[in-house]
Structure 1
Amino acid sequence: MSEVAAVIDDLRDESDELDVLVRELSVEQWSAPTPAPGWSIAHQIAHLTWTDEVALLAATDADAFAGEAAEALAAPESFVGRGAEEIAAALAPQVLLERWRGGRERLEAVLREAPAGTRIPWYGPPMSVASMATARIMETWAHGQDIADALGVTRTPTARLRHVARIGVRARDYAYLVRGIEAPEEEFRVELLAPDGGVIVFGDEDAPQRVTGPLIDFCLLVTRRAHRDDLAVRAFGADADRWLDIAQAFAGPAGAGRAPRGDGK
């Protein structure tokens, strides 16, 4: 199996796991608020639906996607939320669920059939097929976490979290850029304890600044699904420490992030 096919398989599995979480929800549960202010569970799935459909457009019609990208540049603070709001408001839960399923299946098929070396335009530099699939894993997991939190469900961490961590590390300099801060020149060493007891590493082992902690906690941090104070992620070095305050794995504004729970963890 190729590396690209393996990443797409992980995207399918991540989506299927979230599907299990939402497919039996009542109408009332679809309206339940999530930790994202103003977003219900329906908004979370609507956002994934919207993004899958835009990714499909980017992969199949670059000119049409260019128009979407222009709209995003014109309203960077609101265009994502507007897309989710429009879909969530227009569709009953079961219709929304089927639209999400259909969109992600079509995107998967297009990604699998893409010729080697394909570059897909996006909101920023074009992405490889593997990178697009990885980005969709990250978003599916992150919005799935919002839904799990709303339902009071604790999810079992999987090896797929390595994709989320990888984007978080690769997006390090973007986190500085979006805040108008100059990024450090030197790379950091990141060492993360995976669910199976293994260690996932990024960066040179001789790098003077390091970040360590559980893989799940790092993923919660870079997707801004938990406050740093509530996580067992540690920095060694002033620049690494500053990064943990601003890290984000996604494009666009960082948002307010989560407030600390204040429970002393």
Structure 2
Amino acid sequence: MKAILSDLLAEQSLVDTLVSDLSEEQWLKPLPVEMWNIKDAIIHIAFFDYAANKLMRGEAEDLVKLADAESGQDQYVRATNFHHLSGAEVLSWWREERTRMAASFYDKNPKDRIPWAPGLPMSAKSLASARLMELWAHSVDIYDALGLEPVVRERITSTLFLSWQARPNAYRINGLEMPETPLYLELTLPSGEIWAKGEPSAENRIKGSAKDWALVAIRRRNWLDTDLEVAGEEARRYAALVQTYAGWADPAPAAKRQR
């Protein structure tokens, strides 16, 4: 738990540095996400850090009801109740909420169950991993908007783990049953270390950089546009529908090339 929280705090600091010197005009820079700008992304992260803290503290029982009541969520999933804040005010608010959330995580046993997505309670440890994954996913949108290459550290393993752990849900939200076909996922971390899951002897296999796979798993890149090696029909299907986060099935970005 301490290791994941350390990773979460480090990623928060990295994203904080990314946006801390933005002008008010830059805060309104559009993202690749429809109708979102940079400020929307940080508002979203801040609100769900706030929600995570409330749920862990027992001050709320249902994430959807909390979001509906307090965020002003619109059809684009933007928390419109906070649009009046300046970029600097949003950043200050996020700093406060993520600090409160971290304190709540430190008070939890890693196996404590938190009522996160409807019908999908998470352990405190898994929720910390999910908050780290979502923060990195939205930071990728910001990097893209600013014309910068997304930064990937060794802590990307939390996102990789969720890509594998959430595989049954990815099939389910796409109206599919997860097959029993053996699959092997082998990824190279920034350090050069190998992170792997599944059956090494499987014919269906995905191999490549942790960065490429993580970008695919958060639905920010189409696997066809990466250097991933994807062999086998089932591996190609998994690469097409992998999704690390709960909710409806999001489409992958349109591929710029075929192979």
Scaled by the length of structure 1, the TM-score of the pair is 0.89
Deviation at 1:207, TM superposition (A): 3.2
Pairing of 1:189-204 with structure 2 (within 5 A): 189-204=184-199
Contact 2:223-2:240 at 8 Å conserved across structures: yes
SS of 1:114 mapped into structure 2? coil
The offset of 1:240, in angstroms, is 1.4
5+ residue gaps, structure 1: none
SS at match of 2:41: helix
Contact (CA 8 Å) 1:47, 1:80: kept in 2 or not?
no
Tell me which residue corresponds to 1:56.
53
Once the two structures are superposed, residues 186-208 of structure 1 have per-residue CA deviations (whole angstroms, 9 ceiling, x without a partner) of 44211001111111111232334
The structural deviation recorded for 1:80 is 8.5
Q: Distance in 2 between matches of 1:8 and 1:187?
A: 32
The correspondence for 1:65, drawn from 61, 72, 80, is 61
Aligned alpha-carbon RMSD (Å): 2.2
Name the SS of the counterpart of 2:114 in structure 1.
Answer: strand
Amino acid at match of 1:56: N
> What is the TM-score normalised by the length of structure 2?
0.91
- Match for residue 210 of structure 1? 205
Residue 28 (structure 1) shift: 0.3
1:219 maps to which of 201, 214, 220: 214
Equivalences, count:
254
Q: C-alpha separation between the residues in 1 aligned to 2:110 and 2:141?
A: 34
Between 143-152 and 247-256, report the one with greater CA deviation: 247-256
Instruction: Compare relative contact order (CA 8 Å, sep 6+) and give the higher one, 1 or 2.
Output: 1
Equivalent position SS for 1:65: coil
- Of residues 160, 165, 185 in structure 1, which corresponds to 2:180? 185
Gap runs ≥5 in structure 2: none
Answer 1 or 2: which has greater helix percent: 1
What is the Cα deviation at residue 245 of structure 1?
0.9
Residue identity opposite 1:42 in structure 2: K
Is residue 248 of structure 2 the alignment partner of residue 253 of structure 1? yes
Find the counterpart in structure 2 of residue 15 from structure 1: 12
Task: Give CA deviations for 1:4-32 in whole Å, capped at 9, x if unaligned.
Answer: 10100000001110000000000000000
Assess if the C-alpha contact under 8 Å between 1:210 and 1:237 holds in 2.
Answer: yes
Do the aligned residues in 2 keep the contact of 1:71 with 1:79 (CA within 8 Å)? no
